[in-house]
Every structure is written in C-alpha cells, then in structure tokens.
Structure 1
Amino acid sequence: MNTLTHFATPQLTLLHRGKVRDSYRVDDATRLIVVSDRLSAFDSVLETAIPHKGAVLNGLANFWFEQTRGIIPNHVVKLVDANATLVKEAQPIKVEMVVRHYLTGSMLRGYQQGQRTFSGVTVPDGLTKHQQFPAPIVTPTTKEESDREITPDNLVSEGWVSRELYDKMAEKSLQLFKLGSDLLREKGIILVDTKYEFYARIVGQPLATADDTGDVTERLTHNLVKAGLLSAS
C-alpha cells in the first residue's frame, strides 16, 4: 500500500521539514502544511510509515480547529487536500501549555522519584498511578531543542511572555481542554493530557492557536505504539 513519506513541488519553497509535517511558502501571508504518513514517537521518526495516517491526522486537526473557533481563532484558511492545509503565516510563542488531568506519563515518573512541584504546581503526597486530579492543571514548558519545565513567574522574568499573555494562554488552554474532554467523553475516550501552542499574531489577531489541537491525535497514536497495538517496525 502506498504511503506519503516525502512531498516535493518545484512551485513552492520548502521552509521546514519536521518529523511529520512539511511546511512550504505560498506567499508572504500564507503557507502550505503537508501532513505525511511518517510516524513520530519517542522524539524519533520510526522506519515504517502508516498508510493514510497523514490524511487522518490532517482531517482530525481540521475538525478540532473548527470545533474550537468559538474559543480562539486559528491559522487555518482551508483544507486543500486530504494531506494538506493552507494556513496563515503566524508568529509562534515559544511556550508549550501542557494541561494534565491525571497523574501519568513524565509527571508520574517524576512523582515516583519524589518530585512534588511541576512547573510551579505542587501536588500532594499519597497520589496513585493514573489518579485523576480534582481539576486539570497547567504545567508549561519552554519550546526549545530540549524542552524544560518552567514556572509562570520564570516565563515572565526570562522574557518568554508577559504576565498578561501567560494568563490569557492559561485561560484559553483550560477552555480548550474542557471542550476536548467533553467531546471525547461522548465517544468513550478520556483526554488524559495534551499540550497547546499559541501564536501571538495571525494577520492582526492578538492571540490564536496553531498546530495544537491535532496533538490529541498524535498522542493517541503514540499510546497505541507504546501499548504494542501498532507496529513500530
């Protein structure tokens, strides 16, 4: 079965090739994002691609962007192909807003090693694996070559964002998480955690989301690989 692992066109300039998505300049205001069938897990691209994964991921990302327009605008112009979306140019904020509702993943590993404060949020002793928190918590990280946990105060003092902007990002992250949780719960799916990335400017918009809500799909795929339900070889 054919898979889309690489895409090239002489009409457009390649701006960035990521682990899954390729980005091409259309003009000064727009770019084309092509979502491949490459599978990224554990910060690596696995050798075997998954047929139609890119189309599914692109379609689901567009679904979520459409669902969340009532909370915050986004960069999507239109879906131009099953694997490609035309988007507006944007100025990214180099912060990832990780929202967690359960003690699992990297947070669980830190907790088991004695860590109790995560990005400025302190959790109590005595929690168990996969325990649900009373309410979702926001644990931001920097978006660098090697992301690091960071408190909201340090994000402000180090110049990543202003306090006003961080508070707005945290507010929108929790609203997005609630909407995602509610919609997925109707399908029998628990949204354990996810991350949101924001953009400071999209054609004059003061704050918007881009390349975030599709992360739910990526994380579901990662979990299937880790559980052995999808082959990583």
Structure 2
Amino acid sequence: MTGGVLVQSTLPLPLLRRGKVREVYEVDESTLLLVASDRVSAFDVVMREGVPFKGAVLTQLSAFWFERLKSVMPHHLLTADAEEIVARVPALGPHRDELHGRAMLSRRATTVPFECVVRGYISGSAWAEYQKSGTLAGEPMPQGLVESAQLDPPIFSPATKAEQGHDENVTFDHVVNGLGRLTAERLRGASLALYEAGRDYAAQRGIIIADTKFEFGTTPQGELIVIDEILTPDSSRFWPADRYEPGHGQPSFDKQPLRDYLA
C-alpha cells in the first residue's frame, strides 16, 4: 500500500487470479477471499494510478446490497468484516490493515460465463448499438429513442465475460445456446428482479441506476447465487435524479467521467 492507495494485495494465501480490480485467493476448497484494490480501469486498460479508498467503496456497497437483496437472490458473501476474516483465517492477522473495508470472505462457486446486464436507460454501448442498427441486445427497438431515454420495462442485455479484454454484447438466444433455456431464463429473471429492487430503493434516495451488470455462479450443490460485486460504481451507472435530462449523456457517480476524459 502506497500513500493510502492499495494497487495490489499480497497475502499469504494461494492466489487464484488477479483481475482488473480484484485479487482472488483460495482459503480452502469451499471458501475464497476477494480483495478489492484501488485500481481503476477504463476501455479494458488498468490505470497505473489508483483511486484512494475505491476498493473499500466497492466492497462496502456490495456488502450492503448483498444483505439487502438476499431475499431476491442468494449470494456468495460470508463476511466483509476484517476481524471476522482474521478469526477464520489466522494467517491473515498481520494483514489486518490491508483487509480492512476491502475484503470479502465468500463461498466458492463456478462462475457462469456471461455478464448479466440489465438496462433501465439507453446509454453507453447500448446507445451505440441502437444508433448503428436500431437494436439492443440484438433485438429491434422502437424508432426515435434518444440517448439516456428510459426503457420500460428494463431490458436484459447479456455479454460474454472476459477477465482480460473486452466483453462482447450477445443475444439472449446466445445464452440459451450456451447454457440451456432453463438456466438462461433463471439468469434473466434473477437479473431483472435484482435490478428492479435496487432501482426502486435508489430512486427513493435521489439516484437513478441506469444500468448494471451482475455475475452469477453455481455452488457445488447446484445452487445459483450472485457473486463478485453488486450495484457498485464499477458495475453500474448511477445518475443524480434531479439532473436527469434525456437527449444526451448524464452526470454520473461512477467511472463515466474517466471514460469521457480518455475518449
């Protein structure tokens, strides 16, 4: 950790993978430790400089939403409390400060190989697709939509999952072909239910959740659960409701200002 910014964690556990933001460590055959660094990425490039406390924001928001939405969909989180983590994994005691606020002890699951995106407003890559072909997730859309227009009902817009590189938007039929109709329908239903519950809660507090992506996994017992992160500034577009104005891009509380700067 340099100057309060954690660019990369180094813990005395087997490192399974290092993603754009998180390190995933093996605790035992049924448990993982996810550590959210302060790295920030845009356009599939990880910036050299971190953002102070970013990892803690991602982790604490995820912990909040996992708990709030557990009646909608079970999740992988066991605890995000550093003291509880150290109590369960004593070898991490000397790394308490590194874990504080940014680590999640989680159930192990096999990751579903699709990003489950839900769009309540047309923005970003969805707006680009619509401008190009008049479609969203490969399905025809009404003519005359403007950028940032609300989509009612929200649309399930899956994408391939890439640990490195660019996720590609795909059709629902592509998910059906890859996973079978029953699993694809379960993913779509769970994604829409999670989004709508989060959207309604945020709307009461002046925040529009324009879109978001969920990741799912299956436990060894075959249970489908939501994993990784949920409704964070890295996985969602958050807009201030009092400044919402369709027809152009919106001010946002997420990575969009960085994307706009780099573009």
Q: CA deviation at 1:37?
A: 1.0
Aligned residues: 224
Return the alpha-carbon distance in structure 1 between the equivalents of residues 109 and 186 of structure 2.
18
Of stretches 138-147 and 210-219 in structure 1, the one that deviates more from structure 2 is: 210-219
Corresponding residue for residue 154 of structure 1? 174
Q: Verify the 8 A CA contact 2:129 2:135 in the aligned structure 1.
A: no
Corresponding residue for residue 91 of structure 1? 110
**Residue identity in the other structure for 1:127:** L
Corresponding residue for residue 70 of structure 2? 69
- What is the TM-score with the length of structure 2 in the denominator? 0.79
State the percentage of identical aligned residues.
35
**Residue identity in the other structure for 1:131:** A
Tell me, yes or no, if structure 1 residue 4 matches structure 2 residue 6: yes
Q: CA deviation at 1:65?
A: 0.8
Corresponding residue for residue 24 of structure 2? 23
Q: Verify the 8 A CA contact 1:116 1:122 in the aligned structure 2.
A: yes
Q: Which one has the bigger helix percentage?
A: 2
Residue aligned with 1:85, SS: strand
> After TM superposition, where is structure 1 displaced by more than 3 Å over at least 4 residues in a row?
214-220
Return the alpha-carbon distance in structure 2 between the equivalents of residues 176 and 100 of structure 1.
12
Q: CA deviation at 1:143?
A: 1.5
Residue aligned with 1:72, SS: coil
The equivalences for 1:1-233 within 5 A come to: 1-9=3-11, 11-79=12-80, 80=82, 81-113=100-132, 115-144=133-162, 145-157=165-177, 160-199=178-217, 201-219=218-236, 220-226=253-259
Q: CA deviation at 1:50?
A: 1.3
Corresponding residue for residue 242 of structure 2? none
Q: CA deviation at 1:191?
A: 0.7
Return the alpha-carbon distance in structure 2 between the equivalents of residues 186 and 148 of structure 1.
33
Report which structure shows greater RCO (CA 8 Å, sep ≥6): 1
Unpaired runs of 5+ residues, structure 1, are: none
Residue aligned with 2:179, SS: coil
Deviation digits for residues 25-66 of structure 1 (CA, Å, limit 9, x no counterpart): 111111111111111222111122111111111111111111
- Shift of the 107–172 alpha-carbon distance from structure 1 to 2, 3 Å rule, reads same
- What is the TM-score with the length of structure 1 in the denominator? 0.89
**Residue identity in the other structure for 2:225:** A
Q: Verify the 8 A CA contact 2:25 2:33 in the aligned structure 1.
A: yes
Q: Verify the 8 A CA contact 1:97 1:140 in the aligned structure 2.
A: yes
